Amino acid sequence: MGAEIKGAIEYSKGLEGVIAALSSISYIDGSQGKLVYRGIPIEMLAKYSNYEETAYLLLYGELPTKEALENFTQQMKTFRILPKRVEDCIRELPPNPHPMDILKVAVAHTALYDPDRLRCCREGVMSKVIRIIAQIPTMIAYYHRARTGQDIVPPDPDLGHAANFLYMLHGKKPDKEEARIFDVALVLHAEHGLNASTFAAMVTASTLSDINSAIVSAIGTLKGPLHGGANERVLKMLDEIGTPDKAEEYVLNALSEKRRIMGFGHRVYKTYDPRARILKEYAEYLSNKYNDRRYIEIGERIEKIMIRELGKKGIFPNVDFYSGIVYQFLGIPRDLFTPVFAMARSVGWAAHVCEYVQNNRIFRPRAYYTGPDYVEYVPIDKRR
Ligand code: ACO
């Protein structure tokens, strides 16, 4: 029996290089540092699009007409409001847990009141999806206001998705330029193939569970420091280093102790992550605008050292390295960096789930059995 279980199964640790689905949503060229959503280069979307339009593109497969975009944007605005009971519950949640844990609770809780909960047709599922994407920012902002003893700021229907989040978080309308920078950051984080959290969502959905459960799985997966949780830790590291002249010693020490430098390395990119390139420009811009170059200078020093030391191994900055500096200047608290990532990525999760279940097959890999072939059962009073 053991031999059969051990049989001709190919093993790839961490599923590296395994093709687990067909998808037309995005493509990453890891050696050239290129990323496209539905064929459109990320740089063009960063320049010309916004989060709402990109979300439509990812979900429906093509850019919307003017009218379709207006309808979609309006629907997202309508869906921003949370059910009263969820709002009340968020006010009562303890102030200490990591906000990613709060987000899991809030998404699961909101699902109970979703008017489309029992609708499994494409329209019903899309409605649930758009509601989740629209509500996550409200959940994050409300929780932050409540935990800091501030009044909750309801969504403003005159503001776009990105600007409205900053407004609900800070209680004042953001300046247009900063709202645009945040909008681009959301576009850059919206989708990225079968990363760990997207795959987790797909595994859940492949059992024909519901979309809300899939998103909850994804949030729990994104939280980890090897995935979405890295951005928060980058800022912690920059603080620990303190000044650019200490970066060399810090990085070399970490590497000699086999510790990871957060915000570097990627399973697919073996060159500079194109999203990091754009975010670095914004980090630079905001550092100059606020005349505070502390973080960017340490960051750039780390980048140089890491590329010198590990560039030959394909280790370069990833999306998480400069995003934290950008968010810091936009006044987003550090422990909300990963929830903000979830807010952007919710559309990628949903797009993959919707695509996969159309031609569904339950995910069910096997483990390569390394245990003994046969062990005699020993009654408990005879064990030593
Ligand atoms: N710092 C130092 N060394 C690194 C780093 C890093 N950040 N990343 C990879 N390496 C080294 C590894 O030690 C390993 O070296 P070895 O071959 O001498 O043992 C080699 O590069 C390959 O690393 P793996 O862990 O095998 O690469 P994998 O594809 O499994 O991991 C990952 C990718 C998890 C992103 C990794 O690079 C990492 O831990 N990075 C730091 C955390 C991070 O920034 N995560 C965010 C990723 S982007 C995202 O999820 C949004």
- Using CA positions, which residue lies closest to atom 14 of ligand 1? 313
CB 184 within 8 A of CB 278: yes
> Does residue 381 lie within any of the structural domains?
no
Ligand 1: distance of its center to the CA of 259 in Å? Answer: 10
> Residue 114: its pLDDT value, please?
87
313 and 193 together in one domain: no
> Residue 28: its pLDDT value, please?
97
325 and 353 together in one domain: no
d(C-alpha 85, C-alpha 137), whole Å: 17
> Does residue 5 lie within any of the structural domains?
no
Closest listed residue to residue 302, CA positions, set 365, 366, 257, 254: 254
Ligand 1: distance of its center to the CA of 260 in Å? Answer: 7
279 and 137 together in one domain: no
- Using CA positions, which residue lies closest to atom 34 of ligand 1? 226
d(C-alpha 31, C-alpha 61), whole Å: 25
> Residue 3: its pLDDT value, please?
41
> Does residue 366 lie within any of the structural domains?
no
Which CATH number covers residue 181?
Answer: 1.10.580.10
> Does residue 353 lie within any of the structural domains?
yes
- Using CA positions, which residue lies closest to atom 46 of ligand 1? 227
193 and 236 together in one domain: no
**DSSP 8-state class, residue 260:** P
> Residue 365: its pLDDT value, please?
93
> Residue 2: its pLDDT value, please?
40
Domain housing 298: 230-329
In this structure, the chain runs to a length of 384
Our mutation pick for probing the ligand 1 site, out of 233, 255, 266, 308, counting the most ligand atoms within 8 A of Cβ, is 266
What's the CA dihedral at 264, 268, 269, 275 to 10 degrees? -80
Q: Hey, which bits of the chain come out as E strands?
A: 26-29, 34-37, 40-41
Low-confidence ranges of the chain (pLDDT < 50): 1-5
80 and 148 together in one domain: yes
Q: Which residues contact 10 (CB under 8 A, 6 or more apart)?
A: none
Which amino acids bring their CB within 6 angstroms of ligand 1?
14, 195, 226-228, 230, 260-267, 310, 313, 315, 318-320
DSSP per-residue string spanning 142-161 = HHHHHHTT-------TTS-H
Write out pLDDT tens, residues 327-372: 999 999 999 999 999 999 999 999 999 999 999 999 999 998 999 9
Give the number of domains in the chain.
Answer: 2
- Using CA positions, which residue lies closest to atom 4 of ligand 1? 260
Strand partners, 36: 27, 41
34 and 151 together in one domain: yes
113 and 158 together in one domain: yes
166 and 309 together in one domain: no
**CB crowding 6-43: b at 16 or more within 10 Å, else e:** eeeeeeeeeeeeeeebebebbebeeeebebbbbebebb
Ligand 1: distance of its center to the CA of 130 in Å? Answer: 33
Q: Which residues are catalytic?
A: 227, 266, 320
**pTM for the whole thing?**
0.95
159 and 31 together in one domain: yes
HSE toward the beta carbon, residue 343, CA cutoff 13 A: 26
> Residue 6: its pLDDT value, please?
54
- Using CA positions, which residue lies closest to atom 31 of ligand 1? 267
Ligand 1: distance of its center to the CA of 261 in Å? Answer: 8
d(C-alpha 354, C-alpha 334), whole Å: 32
179 and 315 together in one domain: no
**CB crowding 64-81: b at 16 or more within 10 Å, else e:** beeeebeebbeebbebbb
> Does residue 32 lie within any of the structural domains?
yes
Which CATH number covers residue 293?
Answer: 1.10.230.10
263 and 190 together in one domain: no
d(C-alpha 300, C-alpha 277), whole Å: 12
Ligand 1: distance of its center to the CA of 267 in Å? Answer: 7
